[in-house]
């Protein structure tokens, strides 16, 4: 028994040592090459030893029954990558390790990795510090999460670069309060890094990113060029203006080139759900909408299901965390029922997600209805898709299909998959996917399907917004393995 105990501990210590050796390689690839590494969609940048080991353990849910992925298999992949002077890329080293086992064909790891990453080999520094300036107009729940993600993804500086935030001045110590809200978050935890404020120059420096804080009450009156900002992408997360006329005010400002709205757009604005219709973004589009959190959660799953089984019609019910537009206690509200205390009630309300889904996926036009129930939780929501399919299927077939879509399809960044009878809403705080299919809850009866999809309506949606922004700016790096 003692020998077995010692063996288990020694094995763990050995894996810890390898994970420790991986950390500097992950950091060097990120900061020197702008290479973002992951394992089956779970990011590795700025992760601890334990987090890296847990990520490897998680991979067994993706690889298949009884399969394991170890640091002994991924470390050599990282080592080989570090010697190739890579250009910007997103590399899933977990998938590369599994692919090497299946398709290595006698090659060394160095030969295999060089062949797999050939398009970006010896491309280091080709676009260094040629990133796209970004301005956040508004700094609320979504604005601050966008800031965190942008700062996290700064890398070598050749991607999206957060240059400024624009807000209305709320108090004499406004800058200190804004920085404090970025530093601490009751739902998403502490900011991962350092934040310094300069009250004289109205700046926040976060992990080396110098961010100008601009105070303005008028979206059309800011001259961004006086801050050295040129041809910037402005992300409006206030929700005040949602049509082309209102959002066009931003384009009147020197230094602003294009605008993204973090809410469903009205009129003829394109509503983009990344992974589904982002290819529709053209160079002529000066203003686009990134749709809503719920639309982003359901449309990728609906597209996957429609592609294989067809959707005749259905109903979408969202169980949604309360938001800032509701009252904490009973008080007047212009919206129906939303005046009642958000922290004490389930509040039945409307949602435009079912209608908005058809803007991103026109094949669904007229096929879906929708409603929403706001519940007393601060974050993470659920969409219940009650669908009539074009052909019959089984629970097992549907779940396996969606598992494969989460692993290997073009929707793998949008659709995640979980198979556990123990998960609850807080387990999905910080999920970077648009939606997570809960396989244990799937109900199938002939052509009737009820599917449950979790989504972090704050963070997961913010990740989708950033993906849209990267596409617009042309800084979305190639992903490997291809």
C-alpha distances (whole Å) from 449 to each of 61, 177, 442 are 23, 47, 8
The upper half-sphere exposure of residue 100, i.e. CA atoms within 13 Å in the direction of its Cβ, equals: 26
The DSSP secondary-structure symbol of 266 reads P
Question: How many CB atoms are closer than 10 A to CB 256?
Answer: 24
Strands 435-438 and 448-455: antiparallel
Distance CA 224, CA 226 (A): 5
Distance CA 175, CA 235 (A): 20
Q: Which residues are catalytic?
A: 293
Angle at CA of residue 413, ends 411 and 419, nearest 5°:
90
Tokens of 329: 């206690």
Return the closest-CA partner of residue 175 out of 210, 199, 144.
199
The upper half-sphere exposure of residue 332, i.e. CA atoms within 13 Å in the direction of its Cβ, equals: 1
By CB neighbour count within 10 A (0-12 exposed, 13-18 middle, 19+ buried), where does 381 fall? Answer: buried
The distance in angstroms from the start CA to the end CA of the chain is: 46
Tokens of 247: 């959002």
Distance CA 226, CA 394 (A): 61
Helices (H), 288-328: 293-309
The residues pairing with 315 across neighbouring beta strands, listed in sequence order, are 369, 386
CB 214 within 8 A of CB 202: yes
Place of tokens 């940048």: 45
Distance CA 308, CA 449 (A): 13
């Amino acid at each position: 028994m003692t020998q077995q105990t010692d063996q288990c501990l020694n094995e763990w210590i050995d894996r810890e040592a390898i994970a420790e050796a991986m950390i500097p390689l992950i950091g060097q690839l990120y900061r020197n090459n702008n290479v973002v590494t992951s394992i089956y969609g779970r990011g590795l940048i700025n992760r601890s030893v334990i987090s890296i080991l847990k990520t490897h353990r998680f991979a067994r849910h993706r690889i298949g029954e009884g399969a394991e992925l170890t640091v002994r298999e991924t470390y050599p992949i990282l080592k080989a990558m570090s010697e190739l002077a890579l250009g910007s890329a997103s590399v899933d080293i977990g998938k590369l390790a599994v692919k090497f086992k299946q398709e290595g064909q006698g090659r060394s790891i160095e030969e295999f990795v060089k062949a797999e990453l050939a398009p970006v080999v010896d491309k280091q520094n080709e676009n260094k510090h040629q990133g796209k300036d970004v301005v956040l107009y508004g700094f609320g729940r979504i604005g601050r999460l966008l800031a965190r993600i942008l700062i996290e993804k700064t890398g070598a500086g050749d991607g999206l670069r957060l240059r400024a935030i624009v807000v209305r001045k709320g108090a004499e110590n406004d800058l200190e309060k804004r920085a404090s809200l970025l530093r601490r978050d009751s739902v998403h935890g502490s900011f991962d890094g350092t934040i310094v404020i300069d009250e004289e120059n109205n700046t926040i420096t976060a992990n080396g990113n110098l961010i100008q804080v601009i105070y303005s009450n008028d979206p059309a009156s800011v001259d961004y060029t006086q801050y050295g900002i040129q041809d910037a992408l402005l992300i409006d997360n206030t929700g005040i203006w949602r049509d082309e006329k209102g959002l066009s005010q931003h384009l009147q400002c020197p230094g602003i080139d294009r605008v993204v709205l973090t809410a469903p757009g009205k009129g003829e604005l394109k509503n983009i759900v990344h992974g589904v219709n982002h290819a529709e973004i053209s160079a002529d589009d000066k203003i686009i909408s990134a749709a809503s959190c719920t639309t982003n959660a359901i449309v990728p799953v609906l597209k996957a299901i429609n592609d294989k089984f067809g959707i005749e019609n259905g109903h979408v019910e969202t169980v949604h965390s309360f938001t800032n537009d509701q009252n904490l206690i009973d008080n007047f509200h212009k919206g129906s029922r939303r005046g009642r205390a958000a922290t004490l009630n389930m509040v039945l309300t409307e949602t435009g997600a079912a209608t908005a889904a058809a803007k991103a996926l026109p094949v669904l036009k007229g096929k879906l209805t929708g409603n929403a129930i706001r519940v007393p939780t601060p974050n993470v929501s659920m969409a219940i898709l009650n669908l009539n399919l074009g052909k019959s299927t089984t629970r097992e077939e549907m779940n396996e299909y969606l598992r494969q879509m989460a692993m290997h399809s073009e929707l793998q960044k949008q659709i995640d998959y979980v198979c556990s009878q123990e998960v609850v809403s807080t387990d999905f705080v910080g999920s970077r996917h648009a939606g997570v299919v809960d396989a244990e809850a799937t109900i199938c009866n002939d052509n009737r399907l009820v599917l449950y999809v979790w989504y972090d309506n704050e963070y997961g949606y913010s990740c989708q917004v950033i993906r849209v922004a990267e596409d617009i700016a042309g800084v979305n790096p190639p992903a490997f393995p291809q």
